[in-house]
Structure formats: structure tokens, C-alpha cells
Amino acid sequence: MKVGGVPYRAIFTERGGTEVRVIDQTLLPHRFETIRLETAADAARAIRDMVVRGAPLIGATAAYGVALAMRTDPSDASLKQSLALLASTRPTAVNLRWALDAADALLRPLPPGGRADAAYDFAARLCEEDVSRNHSIGRHGLEVFQEIARANESGTSRPGPRAGSKNDINVMTHCNAGWLATVDWGTATAPVYLAHDEGMRIHVWVRETRPRFQGAGLTAWELGQHGIPHTLVSDSAAGHLLSRGKVDLVIVGTDRTTAAGDVANKVGTYPLALAARDNGVPFYVAAPSPSIDWSIEDGANIPIEKRDPEEITRVRGVDEDGVERSVRVTPHGTRAANYAFDVTPRRLVTGLLTERGVCAADQTALRTMFGRPQMPT
Ligand code: MRU
């Protein structure tokens, strides 16, 4: 998508495909800078420190991390070490393991001399597949939007103050499941961008997403760059907006979807789903197939990342002079527990927006749609 009118991807290569660059998301929305990843350790650090984040982008960065390792040292030991290093970065997004397992399966049987080129090709392919998968999710999501817009227009949608709104569609999202969290398009935002480009009047309620503010800092930024009307709200305001008929549907991303349709996503997703259900508002999860963990059925078995408590006890921002600061918002020494994700049970999910279409959040429907686990080629 565009930044200041210039098309960008969240990860890209230069110099014939060998130089890997990412947008430094820790600096957004105050500064836009790209940085070069030169080694597998750089890629691992970028994932761990959330220079890049979002499940699909984590997978793509890991794939390039392996390629960088293979360029320096294509031995078996180096392959094993880089896979282990990258796998240890973040626990919840399954795309990481998916990309690393596929890289391992592809590279291990090759002679060391052929591994670097194969690893770069693999990473590039994985990125292209991500883009086309997200675009397909967008097309299927757009059909859902159009259906809701038609129902709004004909007055068959839920009764409430929503009727007569100047927008065709009001979407609420959580965290950043936008193009910054993928290679391009985003998952939850793909239908939003397509709808906007096709002339629908669309408005997005952006939840700030405490504690790291991916909604306030990233989603608001990328929607703004593309000219999508949006309004930032505190996480706590969602129930109010849902109960007043100001939201037509909720769409969030997923870091891991179980084979039975439970969904782990940024913490706060579960209470949002509960509030949506209580108010009869459809709750969709944009779930590309690499987010499906076919080895787990019950969401309770998904590992939930716990992060530095300072992400809760402090906030970072820019003051009026443009100086970046981190300030404490709690009494000295307050104990804090920083759970980064939660699990939304399938019963609260209206549908999974996948690249193959809208799928019920249940095991049989997922198996019917995907047949067998999807691996990058
Ligand atoms: O901790 P983050 O910023 O990596 O969390 C990101 C999310 O929870 C996204 O919603 C999810 O990865 C889906 S991104 C398309």
C-alpha cells in the first residue's frame, strides 16, 4: 500500500533480491524509516523487538532470516542454528513455525552450495503468496460488506441508530491486522482497502490496543496514509459503540487458529467478541490458511506470549517538541502482568474470512475447505 503516495511493502528486497529491508514499526507513527536486515540475528532481533510484528510478517521475516543465514554459511549446522534462533523469538503466531518448517523441509535435502539461492527464492515466493492470499481474503470480505450494505439500505439490518448513517459500512477492528502486519494488503484491512477503492463509503473504528498501541500507532497511520476515514477509540469504548448500533461488523486478525476454529489474537479480542455477540454484531476473523495450526483443536493449548510488564506500566510517545519520551503511568514498583494475546472461542466467531472463502469456525468446515494442512511451496 502507499506511504506518502509511494507504494511500499512491509518487507522488501533491493539489489537483485539479496538486500532485505523492513519498515521499522517501533518508530511509527512518528517516523517512517526502513532498516536493512543483514543476518539471521538481525531478523530474529527485528521479530523479538517488534520492529516487525503481525503473524504473516513474522513468518516472512523469518523466511528471509534463514536466507540471510544461508548466504553467510549454508552448512547443516548453520541451518539448524538459524532455525532454532528464529523459532525462539515469539511464541504465539504459528506462521513463524509454518515458515521455518517449510524452509527446513526445502533446504535440508539440498547440497549446501544450492541452499542460499533456494532460500531466497522460497522467501520471495512466500511473500508473493501472502500478498495474493490477502487480496483473496479482501475479495471475500468485500462480498460480506456488500451484503451488509444492502441490508442497511433496505432496512433489514438490525434496528437502531445505524439506519440512515452516511457510511455504507462501519467496521471495528483491533490491534493492527493491516498491511503493516503482512507483506501487503493486510488481512482484516484487505476488504476495507478494496471497498474504499471501489467507492464504498467505509469508516473504521480503530481500537487503540493497549498496551503497545498497535491500533493507535499503526492501524490509524496506515488507514490515514490510504485516505480511509477512521476514528480512534479507547479499547474500553467498544461495548458502548456496539450497543448503540454504531458498528456493522467487527473484523480482527489471528495469530493462530486451531483446527476447530478457536482464535488466538491480540489481547482484548475475546472481550470484543463477547460484546459483539451480546449486541448481535457479526464478528469475523480474517484467517489466512498459514494461521491455522492443524495440530491443536482446543484454543486453551495455544501458548500465550507474556511480555515485559513495562509495556503496561509505561507509555511511549512524542511530546509537543517532537521529542520521543517514555513515561511511567503507575506508582513506583507496581506489579504488572503483560499477557499479549487471548483466545476467542469458536462459538463467538461468525465466520473465518479465508483466501478460499468465508468458512464457519468449526473443524468440519475448515477440513472441507482446506482438505489438508497448507504449506508454502
Ligand atoms: O503483537 P503483534 O503486534 O504481533 O500482534 C498482532 C496481532 O495480534 C494481529 O492481529 C495478528 O498478528 C494478525 S495480523 C494480520
- pLDDT (tens digit per residue) in 103-154: 999 999 999 999 999 999 999 999 999 999 999 999 999 999 999 999 998 8
- Mean pLDDT, residues 12-17 taken together: 90
Cα 63 from Cα 107, distance rounded (Å): 11
Which segments of 49-114 does DSSP mark as H helices, in order?
A: 55-72, 76-87, 94-107
Nearest CA to ligand 1 atom 15: 177
Q: How confident is the model at residue 373 (pLDDT cuts 50, 70, 90)?
A: low
Q: What's the pTM value of the predicted model, to 2 decimals?
A: 0.95
Read off the DSSP letter of residue 91.
Answer: S
pLDDT attached to residue 118:
98
User: pLDDT of 309-319, one tens digit each?
Assistant: 999 999 999 99
Cα 171 from Cα 189, distance rounded (Å): 10
Task: Say whether 255 is catalytic.
Answer: yes
Q: Tell whether the model's pLDDT for residue 190 goes beyond 70.
A: yes
Q: Tell whether the model's pLDDT for residue 82 goes beyond 80.
A: yes
Q: Which residue bears the cell 480511509?
A: 228
CATH architecture of 2-127: Up-down Bundle (1.20)
Separation of CA 197 from chain center? 21
Q: Tell whether the model's pLDDT for residue 342 goes beyond 80.
A: yes
> Across all residues in the chain, what is the average pLDDT?
95
Cβ atoms of 165 and 205 within 8 Å: the answer is no
Cβ atoms of 241 and 233 within 8 Å: the answer is yes
Nearest atom in ligand 1 to 186's CA: 15
Burial of 62 (0-12, 13-18, 19+ CB in 10 A): buried
Find the Cα–Cα–Cα–Cα dihedral 66, 67, 68, 69, rounded to 10°: 50
Cα 36 from Cα 23, distance rounded (Å): 9
Rg (CA), the chain: 20
Q: Tell whether the model's pLDDT for residue 268 goes beyond 60.
A: yes
Ligand 1 centroid–CA 95 distance in Å is 11
Pairing of strands 11-14, 19-23: antiparallel
> Of the listed 255, 262, 293, 342, which one is catalytic?
255
Pairing of strands 249-252, 169-173: parallel
User: pLDDT of 352-363, one tens digit each?
Assistant: 999 999 999 999
Burial of 309 (0-12, 13-18, 19+ CB in 10 A): middle
Ligand 1 centroid–CA 89 distance in Å is 14
Q: Where are the domains of the chain?
A: 2-127, 135-370
Pocket of ligand 1 (CB under 6 A): 53-56, 93, 175, 177, 181-182, 187, 214, 253-255, 265-266, 340
Do you find a cis peptide bond into 211, omega within 30 degrees of 0?
A: yes
Cβ atoms of 253 and 55 within 8 Å: the answer is yes
Find the Cα–Cα–Cα–Cα dihedral 340, 131, 47, 223, rounded to 10°: -60
Q: Which residue has the higher pLDDT, 124 or 376?
A: 124
Nearest atom in ligand 1 to 252's CA: 10
Q: Tell whether the model's pLDDT for residue 163 goes beyond 80.
A: no
Separation of CA 63 from chain center? 17
Classified by CATH at the fold level, domain 135-370 comes out as Rossmann fold (3.40.50)
Q: Tell whether the model's pLDDT for residue 158 goes beyond 80.
A: no
User: pLDDT of 23-56, one tens digit each?
Assistant: 999 999 999 999 999 999 999 999 999 999 999 9
